[in-house]
Structure 1
Amino acid sequence: MELTIAKLILVTLLTAATALLSHFGRAVFHDGLRPIMPEFIEGRMNRGEMSSVAFGLSVGFIASIGISFTLSTGLLNPWLLFLPTDILGVFAGKAWLAGLLGAGWGIAVVVGLTGVQAALTAFPVDFLGAMGELSSPVLAGFALFPVLAIVYQFGWRKGIVAGSIVLLVRVVIEQGLLPESLNLLPEAGQLFIGTVLLVIFALSKDRKHSSNGETEVEEGESIFVERTQRLYKGLPFFALVGALVAIVANLQYFAGSEVSVFTLHDAYTADSAAETNSLIQQAALSDLLRAIGFIPLIATTALTTGVFGVVGLTFVFPVGYLMPNPVLAGIAGAIVLSIEVLMLSRLGKVMERFPSLREASDNIRTSISSVMEIALLVGSVLAVLEMGSVTGFTIFALLYLFNEATGRPVIRLALYPLAAIGTGVILNILYYLQLFTPGG
């Protein structure tokens, strides 16, 4: 994670802007905080109480997912940047203070973590390098989430059909049976076909049930209009955040989610331009599909609370990865996030019209969580085995079992990479005590 003036300026501006969105009650990153924000906005909860709630909800994710993913890959992520600005924006009593505190957090992250990562790479047991083992299981595992979502929603028979088709697609791509012009990663092909099958099954179900009559939901429409009007007032800030997020993603400083961070790390360290482009496209597709899965959650809470996601529906992430240069990325990012704000009401109506697609989105989120847990577990085990063979695995297993036995204070999704990093630190301590020899 190199320190450059451009990175420092851009991240500082970004965290200042997101802190201001939180301060004005227009947007926060934490999905669990968004439904509580009206209590603060409408005066039923004071600033101190709200900031305490925000801190309690977010601190575990910052310390686990946020820090561990960045140390593992060198890429900044939303949990590290935006959860703290949720807290700081709500905490600050004045807008200028919110902006200042947000900017200060951006500086601290860029400068502090650059130094930490540089220090860790000097250790005799190279555990940060070994963390690269996380990427392959994550890439392969995530490509299977549509199949799992189909099983959840439509049963095991359709799941077997979908799984068979997805496996066939992988074999066809791996054997080079596609035209050379279709330069697809096997995982990208699996992901695309699996998602298409999920959508087909959902639309077919809606069509079968359409004869029962459409449900029109007029009640509550006025409050939706009132809530969205609040968001329109924050449109300049949303456009600025969209531009900055797309730029830092385009400059390879930032990854938008747990499903793209390790793929992007591989892309930016690949040996050839062709491999880099393929991996970036795969990361963009992964984040695009993840964003689709989160539309109902983010859009519904925005319509009912008047508080949007600080990065909108997250489509700005793949836009940033794919744009040819930072200038175009910034323009596209600003446009995309602005359109998302303006289209919220229409999105609500579409979700009411296609209930199976809405249900599919819920299953997508559940499936993503399930496959990512398994993939990160497998990847973390591979990493600790590379660090310290069976000794490394023993330490990792002890950390995992201790977390389970104490009521799981760290969620599994965050625990696996965090425990792998902890294993690396302990192995280095054992090395300095002359109780462990790398490769021994």
Structure 2
Amino acid sequence: MEMMFVILIGAVAAVLANMNIAVFNDGLRPIVSEHLEGRLKRRELGLTAFAMSFGLVVGFGIPFTITASIILIHSILLGTDIIGLMTPKNKWGTAVAAIVGGLYGWGLLIGLEGFVKLFEYLPVNFLEPMGEVGTPVVVTFMAFPALAVAMQFSVKKGIITFIVAALIRQLAVFVNNSEFLRIGDNVVTLNQEGMALIAGMIFLFAFAMREKADEAASVDLASIFSEKVKQIKKNVAFFMIIGALIAGATNLLLMAGDPISLNLLAEGKQTDAGIAAAARAIGFIPLVASTAIATGVYSPVGFTLIFVVGLFVPNVWVAVIVGAIVIFLEVMLLSSIAKFLDKYPGVRNSGENIRSAMTKLLEVALLIGGANAANMIAPGFGFFFIAGFYLLNEVAGRPIVRMAVGPVGAIAVGVLANIFVLLGIMQVS
């Protein structure tokens, strides 16, 4: 059953990309729209998709998938973007996209199992230390609303948001240690990072909603892009299928929608992963909705609420049904969301700032995590390698995205450690 979920997700996602209905890479949606309007040839579209997504698959999606033994959704859907857009949009091309996309999903899952078994035979099994890559991510994630506030409104407001979030976190720690909260004889434990994250998000949206639209300068998104919204609604059945599949696969703990919830799942903290996924989904609604309304091209994961469904619903088949319903409601409410974003341009603009804040935070957290993991694998040498790797990557113009330097560097140290042991210049600790 697990295999079928992953194969079907790969096949359906590749078909959606091939038919120009949905792509996962946010930056690709406007480019697909250019192709739909006849300003970009199919070949150029495919090459652009490859250039934009291949590095992220290899340098971002796959390393996280390996370190947590859970598929990060980026590793499969960025790949299906490439497969779908590089195959011709005709009957045989769509069929090829479905077959190759399904095989890609199958290969990803089989390869993951093979990797885990391979590590057991290595002189230095560095799979467990690789878990350290995500440790700082979980803790630092609560700071992203403060960074988004600072980027969009002011540094002063960002600092205030950060201080309040930090105080809320420590208050939650105090409440947990004091065992104040009880239901009968059972102690209720608050997730301190989750509480801080909620506080930060409240500040972010409070500031954003204070920025009202100027009636004279207001842009009616729903009216201007009504045909594009209709196009998305026409394909709602496709979105319901893939939404159902992804919600089900998430419920089976086969995949996660972001590095934060992925690392929490790897630690066995499913509820915390659900809270993190919910915060991310709420923050991404303005970005996904805006790009979808403006381009007529949706995301195969919608607003990412299907991951929240998968993590909180207790049964896989219930998750499948609820996932389909949730993504149906998302699509049907696009016009209403467009009107809301017109009314509160601050909320609309917050989408890009939230994404930028998350990216910056992950760059720092994953570099620290990668350095810690590398140093656990090869004490001393690990820190040296990650520092040099990061700086040389910067000087070279960042051929590897900053976010991936820590995970990729830690994997490289693990490989080098095994080579050193085989050469006799390093001892297994």
TM bin, normalised by shorter chain, reads over 0.9
Q: Contact 1:215/1:353 (CA < 8 Å) preserved in 2?
A: no
Aligned equivalent of 1:117:
116
- CA distance in structure 2 between the partners assigned to 1:200 and 1:300 by the alignment: 20
**Are 1:201 and 2:196 counterparts?**
no
- Relative to structure 1, is the Cα distance of residues 55 and 436 closer, same or farther in structure 2, using a 3 angstrom cutoff? same
Deviation at 1:221, TM superposition (A): 4.8
- Residues 131-165 of structure 1 show CA distances to partners (whole Å, capped at 9, x for unaligned) of 11123211110011112222333334333433332
TM-score by length of 2: 0.92
Aligned equivalent of 2:4:
9
Deviation at 1:281, TM superposition (A): 2.2
**Are 1:183 and 2:173 counterparts?**
no
- Residues 225-255 of structure 1 show CA distances to partners (whole Å, capped at 9, x for unaligned) of 2112222232111101000000110001101
Query: How many residues are aligned here?
Result: 418
**Are 1:62 and 2:66 counterparts?**
no
Tell me, which stretches of 5 or more residues in structure 1 are unaligned?
Answer: 1-5, 268-278
TM-score by length of 1: 0.90
**Are 1:247 and 2:253 counterparts?**
no
- CA distance in structure 2 between the partners assigned to 1:157 and 1:306 by the alignment: 38
- CA distance in structure 2 between the partners assigned to 1:110 and 1:160 by the alignment: 43
AA of the residue aligned to 1:97: V
- CA distance in structure 1 between the partners assigned to 2:228 and 2:156 by the alignment: 43
Q: How does 1:130-141 map to 2 (within 5 A)?
A: 130-141=129-140
Aligned equivalent of 1:3:
none
SS where residue 143 of structure 1 aligns? helix
Aligned equivalent of 1:154:
153
**Are 1:324 and 2:314 counterparts?**
yes
AA of the residue aligned to 1:428: N
- CA distance in structure 1 between the partners assigned to 2:377 and 2:74 by the alignment: 27
AA of the residue aligned to 1:147: A
- CA distance in structure 2 between the partners assigned to 1:427 and 1:387 by the alignment: 7
Q: Contact 1:293/1:362 (CA < 8 Å) preserved in 2?
A: no
Aligned equivalent of 1:77:
72
Deviation at 1:307, TM superposition (A): 0.5
- CA distance in structure 2 between the partners assigned to 1:154 and 1:22 by the alignment: 36
Aligned equivalent of 1:192:
198
AA of the residue aligned to 2:258: S
- CA distance in structure 2 between the partners assigned to 1:35 and 1:164 by the alignment: 37
Deviation at 1:46, TM superposition (A): 3.4
Between 250-259 and 35-44, report the one with greater CA deviation. Answer: 35-44
AA of the residue aligned to 1:47: R
Aligned equivalent of 1:106:
105
AA of the residue aligned to 2:57: I
- CA distance in structure 1 between the partners assigned to 2:66 and 2:108 by the alignment: 11
- CA distance in structure 1 between the partners assigned to 2:286 and 2:160 by the alignment: 27
- Relative to structure 1, is the Cα distance of residues 180 and 151 closer, same or farther in structure 2, using a 3 angstrom cutoff? farther
- CA distance in structure 2 between the partners assigned to 1:295 and 1:427 by the alignment: 43
Percent sequence identity over aligned pairs: 36
Deviation at 1:215, TM superposition (A): 4.9
Aligned equivalent of 2:399:
409
- CA distance in structure 2 between the partners assigned to 1:228 and 1:217 by the alignment: 16
**Are 1:50 and 2:45 counterparts?**
yes
- Relative to structure 1, is the Cα distance of residues 26 and 438 closer, same or farther in structure 2, using a 3 angstrom cutoff? same
Deviation at 1:68, TM superposition (A): 0.3
**Are 1:173 and 2:172 counterparts?**
yes
Q: Contact 1:124/1:428 (CA < 8 Å) preserved in 2?
A: yes
AA of the residue aligned to 1:364: I
Report the RMSD for the aligned CA atoms in angstroms.
1.9
Tell me, which stretches of 5 or more residues in structure 2 are unaligned?
Answer: none
Q: Contact 2:286/2:350 (CA < 8 Å) preserved in 1?
A: no
- CA distance in structure 2 between the partners assigned to 1:299 and 1:9 by the alignment: 30
Aligned equivalent of 2:382:
392
Deviation at 1:343, TM superposition (A): 1.4
- CA distance in structure 1 between the partners assigned to 2:396 and 2:227 by the alignment: 45
- Residues 246-304 of structure 1 show CA distances to partners (whole Å, capped at 9, x for unaligned) of 0110001101012211111111xxxxxxxxxxx22222222222222222222122112
- CA distance in structure 2 between the partners assigned to 1:289 and 1:214 by the alignment: 33
